[in-house]
Amino acid sequence: MQDRENRPDWGRATAAIHRGGLDGQIFGEVSVPIFQTSTFAFPSVEAGAARFSGKDPGYVYTRLGNPTVRALEECVAALEQGAAAHAAATGMAAIGAVFLGLLSQGDHVLAGDCLYGPTHMVIKRELPRFGISGDFVDTTNPQLVAEAIRPNTRMVFLETPANPTLSITDLAAIARITRERQIFLAVDNTFATPHLQRPLTLGADLVVHSLTKALNGHSDVLGGMVVVNDAEISKKIKRALNLFGGTMDPHQAWLILRGVRTLALRVEKACANAAKLADFLEKHPRVHWVRYPGLPQHPGHAIARKQMDGFGSMLCFGVKGGLEGSKAFLNRLRLITLAVSLGGVESLIQHPASMTHAGLPREERLAAGIDDEMVRLSVGCEDVEDLMADLDQALWATPAAEEKLLQD
């Protein structure tokens, strides 16, 4: 039977395909099996006691650990160049484990002013119920971050690229600030994926993923992951997931691991499409503005070029005509799917102000750059010419466009 080799010098595509195998094959299987079991038998009382005490690394109960889940964790940890990873039932379960595992009553968390809506709501509305305060700051300006840190600040939590504005934060610069003050730096790397960006190598303490998105890549399963390098942080995250029940099911893990195997192919195709669409939309007369890190005029372009291996598959743009123009455009699309989420092989588009970020007060949305004309596009792997054609016909269907046609 051939032993599977795991080498640290493998390229990202090779690692995505081959990391996360089992320690030993059972029947020579190529795909990791689904260990669909809730509990594991002990060969003896002594063996069971050794597993519960931690002296024996064997499995006890799937909420606490499972071979299929472990395979996924090892794969994602390798891609992020981390020492350990902990899978969660959803991306929000992973984020919840970070907060519950590392923050205590009286602590303060400083977060980016542009975040996934539910993350923002947890920090603003839920953590204060447990005596944990939170503030929001523009993390693209390291000086503002340094000035906003309090004596009781325990964590800086940010996204880069940010959801949905695609703002870029200099991770190395923020890491220098948090390291000097002995504060945790947690980075949601969902938009970039580890194929394009690895925050741990830039100084972050924790990386969070919604595996639902590009790592899975097929819009058919939920999942989350926390990746760390520090053993003590790892224990706290694992304990929070185990005790609060946010761990992953083995069938979830198997589906996501199957998706990770094609990560490089999907991300590179989607990135190429996104770059062409950003250029196309920037020149379109019915588009007010475009934000894509790959555009030279993007404020974070130079930083993205420095810390990323590509500019990603996400972009946002403003449709002329305000809210009514955006609604008319979105309702006219025929190929691109009107739906939240991102990172799938299919292109998805949505209206953040009325959908993913609707829970934020209007003034906070506007301050973060989320206005009514903004639409967020997750670019998929379709033929880019078909995507351009769909965007073009829908843009010319907006009220302002129709008025222009009548005038002409």
Domains of the chain: 12-260 (3.40.640.10), 264-407 (3.90.1150.10)
The residues annotated with a catalytic role in the active site are 63, 116, 188, 213
Print pLDDT tens along the chain (408 aa). 344 566 778 999 999 999 998 777 788 888 999 999 999 999 999 999 999 998 998 999 999 999 999 999 999 999 999 999 999 999 999 999 999 999 999 999 999 999 999 999 999 999 999 999 999 999 999 999 999 999 999 999 999 999 999 999 999 999 999 999 999 999 999 999 999 999 999 999 999 999 999 999 999 999 999 999 999 999 999 999 999 999 999 999 999 999 999 999 999 999 999 999 999 999 999 999 999 999 999 999 999 999 999 999 999 999 999 999 999 999 999 999 999 999 999 999 999 989 988 888 888 888 888 889 999 999 999 999 999 999 999 999 866 655 554 354
Quote the pLDDT of residue 400. Answer: 60
Q: What angle do CA 20, 21, 22 make, to 5 degrees?
A: 120
3-state SS string over 269-325? HHHHHHHHHHHHHHCCCCEEEEECCCCCCCCCHHHHHHHCCCCCCEEEEEECCHHHH
Which residue is associated with the tokens 């991300």? Answer: 267
SS3 97: helix
Distance CA 152, CA 23 (A): 43
Calpha distance 220→343 (Å, rounded): 11
